[in-house]
A = this chain, B = another copy of it.
Amino acid sequence: MSDTILAALTALSIAPAACVTHAKSISQTAWIDSLGALPSGAVPERYRLLKTMVFKPKTAKTDTPIPLLVITDDATQTSTGAIGAHMKLKELRLAAPELLQSTLGATKDDVSPFSVTKSNASNVRVLLDAAVVSSHVLYAVHANSASETLFVPGAAIARYLEDAGAQIETVDLSTLAAAPAAGKPPAKQAVPKSKSDAKIPEAELIGITVRKDGDFPEWYQQVLRKGDMLDYYDVSGCYILKPLSFYVWECIQHFFDTEIKKIGVQNCYFPLFVSSDVLEKEKDHIEGFAPEVAWVTRAGKSELEKPVAIRPTSETVMYPYYARWIQSHRDLPLKLNQWNSVVRWEFKHPQPFLRTREFLWQEGHTAHLTRAAADEEVLYILELYRRVYEELLALPVVPGVKSEKEKFAGGLYTTTVEGYVPTTGRGIQGGTSHSLGQNFSRMFDIAVQDPKATDETRGTPQGRLFVWQNSWGLSTRTIGVMVMVHGDDKGLVLPPRVASTQVVLVPCGLGVKIAQDVKDGVNEACADIAKQLSDVGLRTHADLRDNYNPGFKFNHWELRGVPLRLEIGPKDLANKTMVAVRRDTGEKTDLEMDSLERTVPALLDAIHKDMYQRADAEFRAHRKVVTNWDEFTKTLNAKNHVIIPWCEEEACEDQIKDRSARTVAEDEAQDERAPSMGAKSLCIPFAQHEYPSIEGKQCPQCGKHAKRWTMFGRSY
């Protein structure tokens, strides 16, 4: 079949870069596989898949339908509604097999632009993506057969179709806005301006198609899904954590669990369900959660007598039992933790890891005899959270205390570690360790006989002591921050300590001319080294698949963020060397085979350290001291956090939020990438010494006496 096409192309002076036959491909994924399975060199190093869809518009019964071929890049999202609106065609549906056969003599699996010939061109209309035509990338195009593929530039496809005499309409498909469904607003606002700028023209076949700094929300979704971290789920606001991301969580669990056990925290499990009586006991506290509480009202076909809530957090679940278990000061401290999931049915736009209706976390709940003991623990835990970010995820955070407005409802004070996402300039709360004081213990009557009570007060209400409580939690949002900060245009970049695969070995330079025993030697060396590195505790994988070429493997593992790639070819084997390629910088180093057990761990450590330092430098560069109000919003808009000498008054905080929101709405387009929201106080950093003396400073917003340097910012 391809002979006719090749002849037509030759007549147009077009020479395909390659022309291959392969296993029949019934889906785009199978096609990737089939091409990947071909020997090294059979296909170009870099190419993209072409997608050809055939639609039937609504046609009067007596008319012969004229199908519409839509030709675009496989990764380009299309909307039938938008295409229909653009082409002035109604109710586009995928064409039935019979129509495909009668108009183009093709099936849905092998249809391609090359299915259009001079003899059938008048049967169809063609909508060609301008982005394909202008691209310099090679496209894989079926030669009107699911088992044959030609590689040609996009422009060649346009010329072929013109020559065949097709009715062609060329348009940039990514700029066609999604047509609103009747009566419903579009799920997400289209942002035409930035979208096409954001595209990565030379993006790899299976890679990320938009730039991180061009279309960050789309980039984030692609990195998570194509990088195998997460999948979307059919209940809105819920996501599937795939093994790659869950492994990160397991690393965090292992570290944190070990450390809290050192101070006597024990794990336990409280039920998922809460009765409404208990849930609503602490008024201040529940006020914050009530609108988001999910209620079970039915089991099977029976209505429950009393609906039960799903825990949004467990303070009110656990504390009635603390009141029962804590009878004497000898029952203190009580330190319990649980690893579980909680549900907060938010109605805002969900975002994987950052704002989800169910999320995984740990929640610690402890009770102490003295405030001093409780205070000490609050900071011990916060320090562990800082270490999770810095030592595991290579992310800088600013530890501090929350303002009265931002503290945990019902608690005494809240400490926090605050992170930063450079691309958006927004802050993100990383984890919080709360002192609850005696508020909950009074509410739930968790009290003991004061061991220091005098003879007179002993046994009387005056001799009772309400316990001092803490609660602290860290969630899977950690993973979202990690992806947002470290990821790049090629995909995920995983910090070595939480990567389920730290090192991948890829045999290279094994073209068709290389003798089999040499190939075997290289493969064996890779397997041996993988074993050797695994034996010293490095999570290593040798990618010995013989059906993929090295380029495909490089992309595969880069997309998934593997920190270090080791390439070994025949010459390397002979010289007992190899090339190490860092995922974070792309930097290449030659390594001696004999000293890998020393050099590879050192390289991984260096990667961790460098990733942290780059992120830290970036965060520091975006924490700006501001002392007069004129600079405030301007500084904020330049993706900075703003550190001001602050009065710490709640009314002032409200004003700061209002004033910084108003200003930005005037001078900047309002979309989800550059939020118009006002700034809130993120924390009062513990490291006050990093800033000038607060003595005599005034709050730039209200002019009142400033108490401490406080970090404000827009935040997730």
Residues on A facing B (Cβ under 8 Å): 23-27, 29-30, 33, 109, 146-147, 231, 233-235, 238-243, 246-247, 249-250, 266-275, 277-278, 290-302, 307-308, 310, 320-321, 324-325, 327-328, 330, 336, 340-341, 343, 345, 347, 357-358, 360, 449, 458-459, 500, 545, 547
For the complex, give the distance between the alpha carbons of A500 and B261 in Å. Answer: 12
For the complex, give the distance between the alpha carbons of A445 and B272 in Å. Answer: 33
Other 9 A-B pairs with CB < 8 A, given A23-B459, A235-B271 = A33-B328, A234-B275, A243-B267, A266-B500, A272-B358, A291-B299, A295-B296, A296-B296, A330-B545
Evaluate whether A234 and B320 lie within 8 angstroms (CB atoms) in the complex, with A247-B267, A268-B242 already known: yes
Q: List 12 A-B contacts (CB under 8 A).
A: A23-B449, A27-B327, A233-B270, A240-B270, A240-B271, A241-B269, A247-B267, A266-B500, A269-B360, A296-B310, A297-B298, A330-B547
Quick one: which of B233, B239, B272, B301 contacts A291, CB cutoff 8 A? B301
For the complex, give the distance between the alpha carbons of A72 and B500 in Å. Answer: 62
Top 3 A-B residue pairs of the complex, sorted by shortest distance between their CB atoms: A24-B459, A243-B266, A299-B345
Which residues of chain B are within 8 angstroms of A295 by Cβ–Cβ distance?
Answer: 296-299
Q: Are A246 and B267 in contact (CB under 8 A)?
A: yes
Which residues of chain B are within 8 angstroms of A273 by Cβ–Cβ distance?
Answer: 235, 238, 357-358
Interface-centre pick from A267, A291, A295 (highest chain B CB count, 10 A):
A295
Quick one: which of B246, B268, B291, B500 contacts A241, CB cutoff 8 A? B268
In the assembled complex, the CB of A289 is this many whole angstroms from the nearest CB of chain B, namely 9
Q: Are A290 and B300 in contact (CB under 8 A)?
A: yes
Q: Are B296 and A30 in contact (CB under 8 A)?
A: no
Quick one: which of B146, B271, B320, B327 contacts A30, CB cutoff 8 A? B327
For the complex, give the distance between the alpha carbons of A341 and B311 in Å. Answer: 13
In the assembled complex, the CB of A287 is this many whole angstroms from the nearest CB of chain B, namely 12
Quick one: which of B109, B233, B298, B321 contacts A459, CB cutoff 8 A? B109
For the complex, give the distance between the alpha carbons of A500 and B37 in Å. Answer: 53
Q: Are A293 and B299 in contact (CB under 8 A)?
A: yes
In the assembled complex, the CB of A193 is this many whole angstroms from the nearest CB of chain B, namely 32
For the complex, give the distance between the alpha carbons of A340 and B358 in Å. Answer: 13
For the complex, give the distance between the alpha carbons of A54 and B29 in Å. Answer: 78
Evaluate whether A272 and B343 lie within 8 angstroms (CB atoms) in the complex, with A243-B336, A295-B298, A298-B295 already known: yes
| Chain B residue at minimum C-beta to C-beta distance from A341 | B272
Quick one: which of B278, B545, B547 contacts A234, CB cutoff 8 A? B278
Which residues of chain B are within 8 angstroms of A307 by Cβ–Cβ distance?
Answer: 298
